[in-house]
Amino acid sequence: MSDRPGLRERKKAKTRALIQKVALRLFLEQGYAATTVEQIAEVAEVAPSTVFRYFATKEDLVLVDQFPPFVEALDSVPPEVGPVRAVRMAMRAMIETQTPEERADSVEREVLMLTAPELWAASVENVTGVARTLQERLAAREGRGADDAEIRNITGAILGVMVAVWFEWVKDREMDAPARLDEALAHLEAGLPLTRS
């Protein structure tokens, strides 16, 4: 009896992943606007109502909340580690748990979020939520209020570096984004020094 919920949850997760995989493929092949939920359902061999059971909106098929695993990784970093180093460590820990297929899907999602005008508003809302959560988590680590100006500045700097790498990654999909992000955060951690050429 106790095995049944576990099996049910695994089946749900499998169905959800399949629907999203199909949606991403169709969005990239046909364009986001040209792809309908009915087409996604047909290729995934589910009913359109099933698609909406797992994804409330079409945008949700692209947006994935990867932040909870990152927050868990960040919370597990020892409290004496500074904020930028803690984010670097958490990013590395989260990336190490991803399969190559999950990383490839991530690139596809990022490309869609930056190239489909219909997704821009959802992308901005997503980044805003990430910024708020990151600021709260970093403030809690430092024993400060979430509205602390220094925490806000550090959060903004970290997100600025991440977004810059994100834009680069979308243009150059062969780029080793995790390595580039780690280098960029290391540069931020060092105080953003300019090397003389």
Q: Mean pLDDT by 10-residue block, N- to C-terminus, for the chain (197 residues)?
A: 66 88 90 93 94 90 75 92 95 86 78 82 82 94 94 96 88 85 95 85
Question: Tokens 């955060």 correspond to what residue?
Answer: 185
Q: Please report, for residues 3, 22, 65, 158, 179, the alpha-carbon distance to residue 61 in angstroms, rounded to integers and kept in the order given.
A: 29, 10, 11, 27, 27
**CATH homologous superfamily for the domain 62-189:** Tetracycline Repressor, domain 2 (1.10.357.10)
**Which residue, 96, 89, 97, is CA-closest to 189?**
89
Among candidate residues 167, 49, 45, the one with its CA nearest the CA of residue 111: 167
CA distance 170 to 155: 22
**CATH class for domain 3-57?**
mainly alpha
Which SS3 state, helix, strand or coil, does residue 57 take?
A: coil
Tens-place pLDDT, residues 139-154: 999 999 999 999 999 9
pLDDT at residue 197 in the model: 65
Q: Domain residues of the chain, as ranges?
A: 3-57, 62-189
The pLDDT of residue 5 is: 57
pLDDT digits over 13-46, tens only? 889 889 988 998 999 899 899 999 999 999 999 9
